[in-house]
Amino acid sequence: MSEDTEIADLSAEAEQSFREKVSDFLEKNCDRVGESEATLEDDPARVAECRNFQQELFSSGLAALSYSKEFGGAGLTKKHQEIFDQIARDWRLPNGPLYISHGMCLPMLDQYGTAKQKNTYMEDCISGKTIWCQLFSEPGAGSDVAGLSTRATKDGDEWVISGQKVWTSGAHYADLGLVVARTDPSLPKHQGLSMFIVDLTDPDVEVRPLRQISGGSGFNEVFFNETRIPLENLLGDLNQGWNLAVSMLMFERVSIGAGSGSLTADRSPVLIELAKDLDKNSDPYIRQILSDLWIREKIRRFIGQRVRDSVAAGRVPGPEGSIAKLNGSLLARLFRDASMQIVGTNGQAWEIEDEDAEKWAVGCLAASGVSIAGGTDEVQRNIIGERVLGLPKEPDPYKGASWDSVPRN
């Protein structure tokens, strides 16, 4: 990010005028939260709407507020971003398909990209002209992502990538992706990995959408069939991919659990309105679960503030990213249970013409994914156990062994 991005005190007039600019923009371009809740992720109209929205945001000077102007950002401060996020909480920004591009890939390009990579990719990423995805998980490597098998081998002035990824969110509409591949199998599993920028539209990249329980098709299998990319597409240093992957997972966990935009907006007000509409607001059990949800959402704000302050102070978020992510996934399930309690049987069987009813069922079915994406609840608990509580590490009989000497399926 630019050097002028430290939290700065804005004059009262400057702050007021920025607030008005943001509010005017959102009023003109977005629905209020609650007017539209869950939508299926594979809807092509949603992706087109997202690209248009982001282009408008970018043209208005409101995209990537604290990133450097040189690379397409608005060159403002983190304080501007905080103000924007605070106002945006009440609005549904149609930028869901950019969640990985901006929450994870953009900070990685900014932090690890060469000047040439930043010049080539950042502005298009910020303006929504390109959408990015993250390719880590494989059929044999999810929680143990460091054990992955996709290979990248050097051939002249190119890298050749071969292997399969899975659960790749948004690969079916992404233009580019950050892929982690094994560059030296003779090293222990964490040491022989590297990260690359890959063109997802290359004919040697095959993307096959997967159908989910929610009815959507938000993620995919991705096959690299000896895909050739230039040497300069290596992001960061050779065989340092694990450090980059950990950084990126941390951005992801912070985004899921402590992001300050609409992704982590308080949703209890929507349920309180729903309970009123359905005359369930005097039911003591429902009142209790709504109060519980409301309190836990306030706690999430404190956790989120702590993580964001830590990032603003220049620290890399450590296990607090796992605390935020675990808390976010527990909240998603609490919201699911509360919504099902309120809508009752309408959450499972509804009149076909009742367009509003389906969203609760879709939301209910999609909620479990939050406790898996970005590292499962169990994995977050392991990290918290080891790094916060000081419990012993999990035993690893192959610690220090070269990746190619470890038995695998």
Ligand X SMILES: Cc1cc2nc3c(=O)[nH]c(=O)nc-3n(C[C@H](O)[C@H](O)[C@H](O)COP(=O)(O)OP(=O)(O)OC[C@H]3O[C@@H](n4cnc5c(N)ncnc54)[C@H](O)[C@@H]3O)c2cc1C
214 binds ligand X (CB under 6 A): no
207 binds ligand X (CB under 6 A): no
**C-beta closer to ligand X: residue 63 or 133:** 133
Write down the catalytic residue from 252, 297, 355, 378: 252
- Total residues contacting ligand X by CB under 6 A comes to 21
224 binds ligand X (CB under 6 A): no
Cα–Cα distance list, 123 to 59, 117, 130 (Å): 12, 11, 9
Rounded CA gap, 373 and 340, in Å?
22
378 binds ligand X (CB under 6 A): yes
The kind and range of the H/E element at 323 are helix 319-343
Cβ-count burial of 175 within 10 angstroms (0-12 exposed, 13-18 middle, 19+ buried)? Answer: middle
Q: Per CB under 6 A, which region of 14-22, 128-136, 149-157, 268-276 contacts ligand X?
A: 128-136
134 binds ligand X (CB under 6 A): yes
Cα-Cα-Cα-Cα dihedral sign, residues 174, 364, 263, 273 = positive
Given 61, 269, 319, 369, the residue binding ligand X (CB under 6 A): 369
Cα–Cα distance list, 271 to 281, 291, 356 (Å): 10, 11, 13
The number of residues in the chain equals: 409
376 binds ligand X (CB under 6 A): yes
**C-beta closer to ligand X: residue 5 or 380:** 380
x/- string (CB under 6 A) for ligand X, residues 86-125?
--------------x-------------------------
372 binds ligand X (CB under 6 A): yes
Bridge partners (DSSP) of residue 253 are: none
User: Would you tell me how many other CB atoms lie within 10 Å of the CB of residue 366?
Assistant: 20
Determine the Cα angle at 96 with ends 371 and 109, to 5°. 90
List, in order, residues 6 or more apart from 190 with CB less than 8 Å away. 146, 242
**C-beta closer to ligand X: residue 33 or 145:** 145
Rounded CA gap, 30 and 53, in Å?
9
**C-beta closer to ligand X: residue 126 or 133:** 133
Given 117, 240, 382, 402, the residue binding ligand X (CB under 6 A): 382
Note whether 66 and 85 are within 8 A (CB).
no
Give min distance, CB of 209 to ligand X, in A: 13
**C-beta closer to ligand X: residue 26 or 200:** 200
Tokens 């605070």 sit at which residue? 86
Give min distance, CB of 386 to ligand X, in A: 11
136 binds ligand X (CB under 6 A): yes
Give min distance, CB of 167 to ligand X, in A: 3
Q: Per CB under 6 A, which region of 10-18, 49-57, 335-343, 375-383 contacts ligand X?
A: 375-383
Rounded CA gap, 235 and 178, in Å?
9
Give the residue at shortest CB distance from ligand X: 142
**C-beta closer to ligand X: residue 127 or 137:** 137
Give min distance, CB of 152 to ligand X, in A: 16
Cβ-count burial of 276 within 10 angstroms (0-12 exposed, 13-18 middle, 19+ buried)? Answer: exposed
The reply to whether 252 belongs to the active site is yes
**C-beta closer to ligand X: residue 128 or 375:** 375
Give min distance, CB of 260 to ligand X, in A: 21
Phi first, then psi: what are they for 336, rounded to 5°? -60, -50
Given 123, 379, 380, 403, the residue binding ligand X (CB under 6 A): 379
List, in order, residues 6 or more apart from 220 with CB less than 8 Å away. 166, 167, 168, 169, 171, 172, 207, 208, 209, 210
Give min distance, CB of 4 to ligand X, in A: 32
Cα–Cα distance list, 374 to 51, 98, 277 (Å): 24, 16, 35
Given 58, 373, 380, 383, the residue binding ligand X (CB under 6 A): 373
Catalytic residues: 252
Kindly list the residues in this chain that would bind ligand X in the complex (CB under 6 A). 100, 133-137, 142-143, 167-169, 219, 369, 372-373, 375-376, 378-379, 382, 394
